[in-house]
Each structure stands twice: as structure tokens, then as C-alpha cells.
Amino acid sequence: MHLRFASLCFIAVVMMHVSAAELYAQRDYAKLAPYSKITWDGEQPTVEIDGKAFRLLAIDDTPVADIVVYCKRRYRDQWQRRFNEDLVEVLSRIGKEPGKTVDLTLESVEHNQKVTLKDVTMTEENRKKIRYARLDANTEDRPLPKRISKKEAAEDIDALIEWLENEYSYLKRKPSFDWRGELNALKDKLEDENSVKRFAVDLSCVLAKFGDGHTRIRGKTEWLPSGYLPFVIEDLNGKLVALKYNRRDVYEDGYPYLKKIDGIDAEDWVAAAGKMAADGSPQFHRIASIGLAHFVRLTHYMLGKDGEREFEIVLANKDGKETTKSVSMTEDAPQIWPAGGKTSVANMEGRFGYMRIAEMVDDRETLHALTVAMGEFSKSTDGLIIDVRSNPGGSRTVLRTLFPLIMTAQDEPRILNVAAYRLQKGDAADKQDGYLDDRELWPASSRTWPPYKKKAIEKFAQGFNPEWRLPKDDFSAWHYMLATSLPGMSSRAYTKPIVVLMDEYCFSATDVFLGAFKGFRGVTLIGRPSGGGSGRALQHRLPNSRLPVKISTMASFQPNGKLYDGNGIQPDIVVEKTMDDLLGEGDSVIEAAINHLNKAAGS
């Protein structure tokens, strides 16, 4: 009882202390531009000002080439669009926040003469013209067609097959999966006219069998049929629980457990929806299946059932007594996965530091705040809790920033991630600097590595034993992400006990974060296994249905040789959820963390 009270007090301290140490929060950036038109020739933009065309060379003395590099690293296949339409945000994130006017360094297209325009006004009207030009020329943001012909659908399937064959990194990971046969079977059942929504669901079910959470048809809210359960389903150690949308109360007081939905056993309902969930790690497949089970019309389609808006559910209490309740489908989408909150830091009465990382972001203010917090915690605390629960991923920059801060000069360079790029036509397997710099990964041959890091990589490579032997000739040389202590800073490194809190909602860059910390000196992972996923997905658009398809392009491994996909990261101490956890009335994972740190500090 005393431990739980201490835990709840700690949570209260965290929430109250955030105002003193809260990190940079998401901002609403102004939507402005200093020119009314922009086009691209490769990585060189041409802009229009007062009806005249200029090559854009710099904005406020920041070379355009530098801005392009940042956009490509952060936004990948959306880099041009973000440069065009979110210029204020982009410049702000690289530490060059513009004012109401900017200076532009230009080169006249007509005369090839350089010119600098001072104090060019940034206006909303210019930005609107740029955005509307894209919408007029590009179908990306237009509604998907409702139906396509048999020929058009077959062409889309052929395009998908070609992309998978030539680009997909995990294509051969499951040799028994006849993906081509399943896609050709979809062709055979095409009708003269086909619903794009159902076509998207059918394609998604095939892609899900690869077991890669990144490879999928994107934009579910656009093509999944609306209509949701009027409650939230959560998993409680293998049992399904029905909560109100506020996630603070059970849906029916005294009867938390969900037994049936519309006459279907609740587990069968979840399994039917789960045909569209990536068949990756058991924990990822479970939460993805439960998330999809909220879509009533989707699940009816999977069950081959014509459902009504109103139906019955059966609930049970802890003793197994059941009650039946009539419910109605709603058009209000629930918060299917727990909200991650905001990134913040706090101090527990000077004893333990607490760092909540809600998203793996890549902005200077947040990274600076985390760095400062680590320095303060190093001087003032006996232990540190890093909480990445419900963090879906993002950038690897948080990992690259934080990990060196727990390393001393005595620590050898540490390999954080190993991956290989799926070669495309014309790519050289031994390209010196590789293909994955946007994931902080380089081959051993790269000019990035000084001799001592290259030596550490060579030593690691001798013992690296991947669980999946990559198909010969399909992949590049191995690429590595590596961390070392910071010169002159190792004496200030955080060397006290660290607990990292994790759960099944951790994914992508957060998986890599967990994989890097696991097994390091003084670090203990507490919670539940992470989702498991690391693929560097790139997007295509099917030519006729215009469905956006993401396909992974790298095979990514933990330092121990296990794939992220299909495994996830296992905690050192497993802590299962309780009903109080679900209802926000307790936090058994933080309790376990405090207990662990108390013991570690005592010893």
C-alpha cells in the first residue's frame, strides 16, 4: 500500500513539476511564403517573384542546399512538399526561424545574374497559391475514386507486384508465404466494377501476412468504412475489456469484460478484424487487431456478415456473470490507442529523475531540453526513469542525442543498430557511404567513420550473427549505427541506475531506442515487450485507385542479431497491466521502476 501511495505521489509530482521543466511543445507555425510559385529541377528550386523566375540559392543566408538536406532527412518522400508549404516550420526547426520578412539570394533564370532581394514580405496569400497549385496538379489530396474497373484494378495489382519484387526488403523473409499467388487470386475475383474501399481492404490483408508493420496501405481513415464501436476495447492480460471513450471508466459498471459483439464471440470478432493487422510479433498483432476491431463495418465485411447499426453486446463481471446491452454504431472515432501525452521532464523530490519521451522528435528545442535535463539529473538524482510507453516512433535523433550522455571514456563504441538496404536496379552493393544515412546508418567503408570507430565496427562484425540470412545479391553491405562518449563530457555522463519504461505500443524508432539501451551498463528495461518494427518505408501511389502504399526498403536488426520485425524488444522485468492501470488509477510499471531504483540506490 505504501509503495502504491508513493507511486501515485510521484505521478502527481511529475504533473506538477512539468511547468518548471516542461520541454518544447508542438507549435502552430505560420503558413507563409515569400514567393507565389515554386518548381523543382532535381534539388534546385525555381521561384516566381513579381512575375519573374529566379533560381533560389539562399534564404536569410541559409543555403537552399542545406535546407534541402534537412527536409530529405526529416520528411523523406514528402521533402519537396514540406519545403514548399511549411517553410516557416522547416526554417524554425533548423534554428533559422524567419521574421515577417526574409532576404532572398537568387539567380535570374533569364539573365543568369545573381541578385539579393532584401526584406521580402512573407505572406499567407503566397503560401496559398503554392498549395493550390499542387492540389490542381496533383491528385494526392483529392478524394479516392469510389470504383475502378476490372482492368484498372488488375493494373494496380501488377504495379504492386513490381514494387514488391524490386524494392521490398522483407519479401523473402517468409519463404512459405505465396504472396504472388494471393495477389493473383485477387485478380481472379475482380468484378467488372470494384469498390476502391474493399479493394484496399483486400490488398491490406495480403500485405499484412508479410508481418511488417510499416508495409501497408496508408490513409485508413480515407478508405476504411466509417462506423465505430461506442466503446474502447483494451487487452488486460489476454482478456478483452470494454471502456468508455474517456478511458477512465468501464463501459458498463461492474461488468468490465467483453464476451460477445453482435452475436460473435469477442475474440472471434477481434480475429476477423485482425486479418488486416500485420502478422508480426504477437504483441503487435494483438494491439493492431484490437484497434481494427473498433471498425464495425470493416469487421462485418471480414465476417461476411450484413450488420445493422444497432446490435447487442455481452459483458461479464469478474465472477463470470453476464449481462446483455443494446448499443448503436457511432460515427465518432475513438482514441483507439492510448494517448502518449507530451514530452516532459521532472524531478522526484531530488531523488529520481523522470523523463517522458512521448514521440521521437527531431527539433532542436526538445533535444536541447533533454540534454540539459540529463546534465541536471546527473548532479541531483540517484536514479533515472526514461518513459517511452505508447511512443510510436519518429526520428532516431533522440537516441543519437541521449545515448552518448550515459557513456564514459571507458566505454567502448557501442553498436546500436545493424541494417542492410534492399538494392534496386543499378545500385552498387558496396557503395562507399551506403544508402541509409537518413537512418543514421553507414557501412564500414564509409568516410563517416574515424579509424577507432571503424575498428569497433570490424570487431563487432566478426561476432554478428543475424537470425535471417539475407538473400544473396538483394542487399547492400551491412550498415551500422554507433554511439561513443562525448569528448570532454564523459566525466558528466549519467552513470547512476536507469530504468526505461516500455510497452507493446512502442514501435519503429522507439524499438531501435529500446534495442540500443537493452543490456547497457546500469540500464534495466521494465514493462511489456515492444511492438517490433524497423523498415524505412517509402511511399508509392497505385496508378488507378490512387491508394498510397508504403513499402519497407531495409532489413533492420537488433545488435543481438534478432530482427525488430516479428520480435520486438523484450523487457528485463515484465510487469503486466492491472485494471487500475487501464483506468488511470495507478501505474504498476512506475511502481516497479521505483522499487527497482530504491533497491539499486540502497545497494
Q: Say whether pLDDT at 110 is over 70.
A: yes
pLDDT > 90 in the chain, percent:
78
In this predicted model, what pLDDT tens digit does every residue of 39-58 receive, in sequence order?
A: 999 899 999 998 889 999 99
Pull the grid cell for residue 484. Answer: 561513443
Rg (C-alpha) for the chain, rounded Å, is 26
Q: Alpha helices of 388-508 — where are they, by DSSP H?
A: 397-402, 451-463
**Could you identify the residue written with the cell 519521451?**
357
259 near 304, Cβ under 8 Å? Answer: no
In this predicted model, what pLDDT tens digit does every residue of 233-264 receive, in sequence order?
A: 999 999 999 999 999 999 999 999 999 999 99
Q: CA-to-CA distance for 318 and 579, rounded, in angstroms?
A: 11
| Closest-CA residue to 568 (of 520, 521, 522, 527) | 527
Question: Pairing between strand 498-502 and 383-387?
Answer: parallel
Q: Where exactly are the structural domains of the chain?
A: 37-137, 232-328, 339-602
SS (H, E, C) 493-555: CCCCCEEEEECCCCCCHHHHHHHHHCCCCCEEEEECCCCCCCCCEEEEECCCCCCEEEEECEE
**pLDDT at position 136:** 60
- Pairwise pLDDT comparison (271 vs 22), residue with the higher score: 271
| Residue 448 pLDDT grade (very low, low, confident, very high; cuts 50, 70, 90) | very high
**pLDDT at position 20:** 28
* Angle made by CA atoms 469, 475, 480, in degrees to the nearest 5: 85
Instruction: Count Cβ atoms below 10 Å from residue 317 Cβ, excluding itself.
Output: 15
In this predicted model, what pLDDT tens digit does every residue of 135-177 receive, in sequence order?
A: 665 545 568 999 999 999 999 999 999 999 999 999 999 999 9
Q: Which of 166-175, 227-236, 368-377 is the least confident region?
A: 368-377
**pLDDT at position 14:** 39
Q: Say whether pLDDT at 8 is over 60.
A: no
**pLDDT at position 22:** 32
Highest mean pLDDT among 108-117, 371-380, 528-537, 592-601: 528-537
- Nearby residues of 210 by Cβ (< 8 Å), 6 or more positions away: 168, 170, 171, 173, 174, 177, 179, 278, 279
**pLDDT at position 1:** 38
Q: Say whether pLDDT at 24 is over 60.
A: no
**pLDDT at position 85:** 92
Q: Residue 195 pairs with which residues in a beta bridge?
A: 147
**pLDDT at position 137:** 57
pTM of full prediction above 0.85: no
Q: Say whether pLDDT at 430 is over 80.
A: yes
Q: How far is CA 162 from CA 109, 158, 165, 194, in A?
A: 39, 6, 5, 22
Q: What is the phi/psi pair of residue 294, to 5°?
A: -70, -20
Q: Say whether pLDDT at 522 is over 60.
A: yes
Helix-strand-coil split of the chain, %, nearest 5: 35, 25, 40
Q: CA-to-CA distance for 412 and 177, rounded, in angstroms?
A: 41
- Are domains 232-328 and 339-602 of this chain identical in fold? no
| Residue 77 pLDDT grade (very low, low, confident, very high; cuts 50, 70, 90) | confident
| Residue 445 pLDDT grade (very low, low, confident, very high; cuts 50, 70, 90) | very high
Q: Say whether pLDDT at 498 is over 80.
A: yes
pLDDT > 70 in the chain, percent:
94
85 near 76, Cβ under 8 Å? Answer: no
Q: What CATH number was assigned to the domain covering residues 232-328?
A: 2.30.42.10
The separation between the first and the last C-alpha atoms of the chain, rounded to the nearest angstrom, is 23
In this predicted model, what pLDDT tens digit does every residue of 321-368 receive, in sequence order?
A: 999 999 999 998 888 888 778 888 888 767 999 999 999 988 888 899
Residues 524, 528, 534, 540: is their CA dihedral positive or negative? negative
Q: CA-to-CA distance for 310 and 258, rounded, in angstroms?
A: 17
- Pairwise pLDDT comparison (28 vs 195), residue with the higher score: 195
Q: CA 115: distance to chain centroid? A: 42
What CATH fold (topology level) applies to the domain 37-137? Pdz3 Domain (2.30.42)
**pLDDT at position 146:** 94
Pull the grid cell for residue 328. Answer: 448503436
Three-state DSSP state, 214: coil
In this predicted model, what pLDDT tens digit does every residue of 451-478 receive, in sequence order?
A: 999 999 999 999 999 999 999 899 999 9
Mean pLDDT computed over 29-38 = 92
| Residue 513 pLDDT grade (very low, low, confident, very high; cuts 50, 70, 90) | very high
| Residue 119 pLDDT grade (very low, low, confident, very high; cuts 50, 70, 90) | very high
- Pairwise pLDDT comparison (277 vs 488), residue with the higher score: 277
| Residue 518 pLDDT grade (very low, low, confident, very high; cuts 50, 70, 90) | very high
- CATH H-level superfamily of 339-602: 2-enoyl-CoA Hydratase; Chain A, domain 1 (3.90.226.10)
**pLDDT at position 26:** 40
In this predicted model, what pLDDT tens digit does every residue of 389-414 receive, in sequence order?
A: 999 999 999 999 999 999 999 999 99
